[in-house]
Amino acid sequence: MLQAGSTIGIIGGGQLGRMLAMAAARLSFKTIILEPQADCPAAQVANRQIIAAYDDRAALQELAEACDVITYEFENVPVEAAQFLATKTIVSPPPLALEISQDRVAEKQFLNESDIATAPWRVVDDVEDLIAALGALNERGILKTRRFGYDGKGQVRLNSLDNEAATQAIAAIKNAPAILEGFVEFTREVSVIAARDKAGNVRIYDIAENVHKDGILDTSTIPAEISTDTAVACARATYNLLHALDYVGVLGFEFFVLPDGSVVANEFAPRVHNSGHWTEAACAVSQFEQHIRAIAGLPLGDPKRHSDCVMENLIGDDVLKVPAILAESDAVLHLYGKAEARPGRKMGHVTRIKSGK
């Protein structure tokens, strides 16, 4: 168990790192952020920033020497960097979780091997593969790059077995190694935010129902309108995944709900998750504190929710709504300290408390 005053390293300087650093401070831990961009959102609230690339060996060495445990706030941290750090100090979640989540093919394989259903999928390296995959998956699917896709980037929807469209799709993703996923006719998208500690204890927050706009999360509504059976299926898959990874920390896991109430997994993120931001307003212990507790070896908190709520992301010019939000009652506002409001940039979020539970 980390003692008060111990230091936690966070790789990545975005809003998730910022909220982790704030939660760490509340528990009397210090934080050091490794991030190449100066004055990043996380460094504004941390004790120190090491300004260097995520794979800079000297910087990683410095971070390892200064920290009692190291975590990360985004899933594209170079795996070699995490593995290097793990030879020097404790890294949580385990680098294996990073490695698997960075490659959609490895992720689907791991999920399927852990008895977790996904959309049907095929590996696609060229136009011929794509044509064959479309033929195998009812001529309809979503082509996704295996790596570095986020917020719907690097994805092309295909609706027919058409050579021209397939050629264009492969060109659109710049011939990158890819996967074709069968198109899932879902009724809802939901996500599970869960934590596991070193002893294998698991805590799961109530499931969020998510709506995306232009490929970016727009709102998370809690509770999701799903049956108990559906919630149990999501929870069971999450348990399986956490244990299969020997995971320590908080993880976000997205699912599609089918018309019959069954679920298929979409993807997981080995970190705190945008669809869990509501926990800071509607739970005694937020996902950020839960993550810090897990990696610090402290007992996990009770994930129960005291209110229904809706979290809304403030993207780009949405920050102009801030004065109106400040005038609302029951609105919990969180801004990320980003100076420039570019289109598609997450500037903050607001959680509106709907009722006592």
277 annotated as ligand-binding: no
Choice from 35, 103, 107, 189 touching ligand AMP (CB under 6 A):
189
Residue type, 199: A
CB of 160 to ligand AMP, least distance (A): 16
**Beta-bridge partners for 190:** 209, 255
**Considering beta carbons, is residue 90 or 207 the nearer one to ligand AMP?**
207
* Residue 119 lies near ligand AMP (rule: CB under 6 A): yes
User: Is 267 labelled a binding residue?
Assistant: yes
Interface with ligand AMP by CB under 6 A: which range of 84-92, 179-187, 293-301, 307-315? 179-187
- In the complex with ligand AMP, which residue's Cβ is closer, 148 or 342? 148
Stretch that binds ligand AMP, among 108-116, 183-191, 219-227, 283-291 (CB under 6 A): 183-191
Instruction: State the helix-helix crossing angle for 163-172 and 127-136, rounded to 10 degrees.
Output: 120
- The region of 10-18, 162-170, 180-188, 280-288 touching ligand AMP under the rule CB under 6 A is 180-188
Taking the least distance from each CB to ligand AMP, the nearer of 24 and 234 is: 234
| Shortest distance in whole angstroms from residue 183 CB to ligand AMP | 5
Token output for 34? 């490794």
- Of the pair 220, 266, the CB lying nearest ligand AMP is at 266
Q: Which is nearer to ligand AMP, 123 or 319 (CB)?
A: 123
Q: Which of 123, 184, 258, 353 binds ligand AMP (CB under 6 A)?
A: 184
Give the shortest CB-4-to-ligand AMP separation in angstroms.
38
CB 121 within 8 A of CB 98: no
Closest to ligand AMP by CB, 245 vs 264, is: 264
Residues 222-281 that bind ligand AMP (CB under 6 A): 266-267
Q: How far is the CB of 184 from ligand AMP (least distance, A)?
A: 4
Binding residue for ligand AMP, selected from 73, 99, 103, 181, defined by CB under 6 A: 181
Binding mask 203-222 for ligand AMP (x = CB under 6 A): ---------x--x-------
Shortest Cβ distance from residue 31 to ligand AMP (Å)? 29
Q: 3-state DSSP call for residue 134?
A: helix
Q: Which is nearer to ligand AMP, 6 or 155 (CB)?
A: 155
φ and ψ at residue 70, rounded to 5 degrees: -125, 135
- Find out whether 313 and 274 touch, Cβ atoms under 8 Å: yes
Nearest CA-CA partner of 204 in 177, 176, 241, 179: 241
Instruction: Report the b/e string of 65-91 with b at 16+ CB within 10 A.
Output: ebbbbbbbbbbebbbebbebbbeeebb
For ligand AMP (CB under 6 A), the number of binding residues is 12
Phi, psi (deg, nearest 5) at residue 284:
-65, -35
Q: Which two tokens stand for residue 342?
A: 């570019």
Cα–Cα dist 128/134, whole Å: 10
Place of tokens 């979780």: 97
Residue 274 token pair? 């945008």
Q: Answer whether 343's CB lies under 8 Å from 312's CB.
A: no
> Given the complex with ligand AMP, which of 16 and 50 has the nearer CB atom?
16
User: Is residue 154 within 8 Å of residue 144, measured between CB atoms?
Assistant: yes
Q: Which residues pair with 335 in a beta bridge?
A: 348
| CA dihedral sign, ordered 227, 231, 234, 236 | negative
Cβ-proximal residues to 231 (8 Å cutoff; 6+ apart), any chain: 207, 224
Give the residue from 207, 262, 261, 260 showing the smallest Cα distance to 235: 207
Q: Is 181 in contact with 144 (CB distance < 8 Å)?
A: yes
> Residue 150, annotated ligand binder?
yes
Contact pattern from residue 137 through residue 176 relative to ligand AMP, giving x for each residue in contact according to CB under 6 A and a dash for the rest: -----x------x--x------------------------
List of residues contacting ligand AMP (CB under 6 A): 119, 142, 149, 152, 181, 183-184, 189, 212, 215, 266-267
Query: Can you say which residues are annotated as belonging to the binding site for ATP?
Result: 104, 144, 149-155, 181-184, 189, 212, 266-267
Query: Can you say which residues are annotated as belonging to the binding site?
Result: 104, 144, 149-155, 181-184, 189, 212, 266-267
